[in-house]
Every structure is written in C-alpha cells, then in structure tokens.
Amino acid sequence: MTVDLTVDLGGLKLRNPVMPASGCFGFGREYSEYYSLDTLGAVVVKATTLKPRLGNPTPRVTEVTGGMLNAIGLANPGLSKVLTEELPWLERQNVPIFVNVAGDTVEDYCSVVDEVCRSGLAQAIELNVSCPNVELGGLAFGVNSSVLRGLVEEVRKVCTLPLYVKLSPNVTRIQDLAVAAASGGADGLSLINTLVGMQIDLATRKPALANKTGGLSGPAIKPVAVRMVYEVAREVNLPIIGMGGICSGRDAAEFIMAGAWAVEVGTANFTDPYACPRIVAELKSFMEAEGIKNLEEIRGCAL
C-alpha cells in the first residue's frame, strides 16, 4: 500500500510532517553530516534575536529522569549572521525553513520578522513567546492573553510569511492563549514549549543549573503535550504543530490523532542524531501496518 505523508500547512507544502524543534538542531549543519536534510518535512532553526546573545551562564543543561532541563538563554549569533551565513547555507539543502524568532520587546520581534521576510530565505516564522517582555517587568509574552494578542497583531503587520505562534505550557489554560494568538492573526500554532522545572545537585546542595530553573523536555512531558494539543485543537481552527517528548513514529501518530498537522522533534535529537528520519520511517511503517493511506485519515480522530 502506498502511504502519503505529505502535509499542506495552509498552503505550505511539506513532504512529511516531521521537523526538528527549535534549539535542538542548531541551523542544521551538524546533522547534515549524518543525513540529507531534504528527508525532513522542514527545519525549524535556533531562536534568532536582533543582536547576538551568549545565553545564560553554565551549567545550563542537566539530565533528569525522562528527559533534560535546559536554560540555554536563547544563545544565537544574531540576525545579521543568521541572514548572511546560516540561512543561505540551509536554503541550499532543499528543505522548507521555519525561523524561530525571539525578542525582549515588541519592536525586537517586528524588526527580526520584517528582515527575515524581506530576505526571501525562509518559508515560515515561528514566534517564540516564552521570552520575558522587558517593558512589562519580565512577564513572558506568552502567559497573558492580551499581551500575546497585542504582540501577534503587531508582528502580523510586517509578516508576509505564514506565522506560527509557539505556545508556552506554563499557563492555567493554554486554550485561552491559543485563542488570543488566533485573534491576533496567527496562521497556525506550535505547542508545547518546555515546562519549568528544577533539579538539586545533591553534592553541592544547590540547583544543578546556574539559572536555578530550566525548561523540562523529553519523554516525561509527552502526556502533558498531547493533552494540550488535544485541548487547543478543540477550540481553535488553525493548523497545529505538536511537540513534547516525541521519540518514535507512534508518538508522532498520537499527536496527529490529537489534532496536530505536523510534529517537531526536540530532545530525541540529542540521544539519536538520526531521530528525525527514523521517526519519518516509523510513522510510514505504522500507517502501512494499520492500513492508513494518508494523514488526513487520522488527523484529529481522537477529538
């Protein structure tokens, strides 16, 4: 039986629904030494900010049961280098590019999105709204509905590419934030970002991370992520990219059944550099075994 893995994300055609999550794949160079990036549905690059960022002090990554904690702090080379060095190289790999954008102010977001769109080097924007808004005393853009809607509305004015908003799970009702992003003009949503967690180093009797807290990712968060994708899919009629602990093709299928159109793979890339193409193959095998001809047959079937 022929299985069709293609996805149409509101006009953006992907050869399959699997892409690496932002921050877990760099800009693709290292992983291209293991396999051809055109086997992926898309590549979501590392969060890009207006100016270069060194990120948080070390240690900023620690392994925990069922995953990892990270407090990288959006370390990246800055917009100028991303546009002149990273994206031109990635464009030659024949794979759609999502640029994850972060910022401290609304103006930062708009400036980066505007320049990325004008460059012609990307096919979509993913807005990282877990960043602290310095104008509001450090409150993350993604935890307040009115703040989030205002950000998306301003970015929408300059964004000529499909605009996906990456939602934080560190809220009371993620559906409210999803509705706010949709109302602001988002073309789609990606969820979930990491959960806030902490680990204590028993030898030093201090937090294991210099930042004290970090983002929990990996298999431990998958049930939370599936639940949130399910809840958002029931309230918002937009394409959803699901993520959170995906390690296998069966995991990817579960997210699609919960309402996701595509998936991002994060922590699994650190333990298995072939994780993304393996998950593509496993998803195809699962569909063949179950007699599923295309993703439309199972998308949202659990709703």
- 159 burial (CB, 10 Å; 0-12 / 13-18 / 19+) is buried
**Sequence-separated (6 or more) residues with CB below 8 Å from residue 75:** 53, 54, 55, 56
**Sequence-separated (6 or more) residues with CB below 8 Å from residue 120:** none
Which of 24, 110, 117, 131 is labelled catalytic?
Answer: 131
Can you tell me the distance from the alpha carbon of 267 to that of 239, in angstroms, rounded to the nearest whole number?
Answer: 23
Encode burial over 70-100: b for 16+ CB neighbours within 10 A, e otherwise: bbbbbebbebeebbeebbeebbeeebbbbbb
Q: Could you say which DSSP state residue 291 is in?
A: T
How long, in residues, is the chain?
303
**Closest listed residue to residue 168, CA positions, set 188, 195, 145:** 195
**Sequence-separated (6 or more) residues with CB below 8 Å from residue 173:** none
Can you tell me the distance from the alpha carbon of 272 to that of 277, in angstroms, rounded to the nearest whole number?
Answer: 10
**Catalytic: 131?**
yes
Q: Catalogue the active-site residues.
A: 131
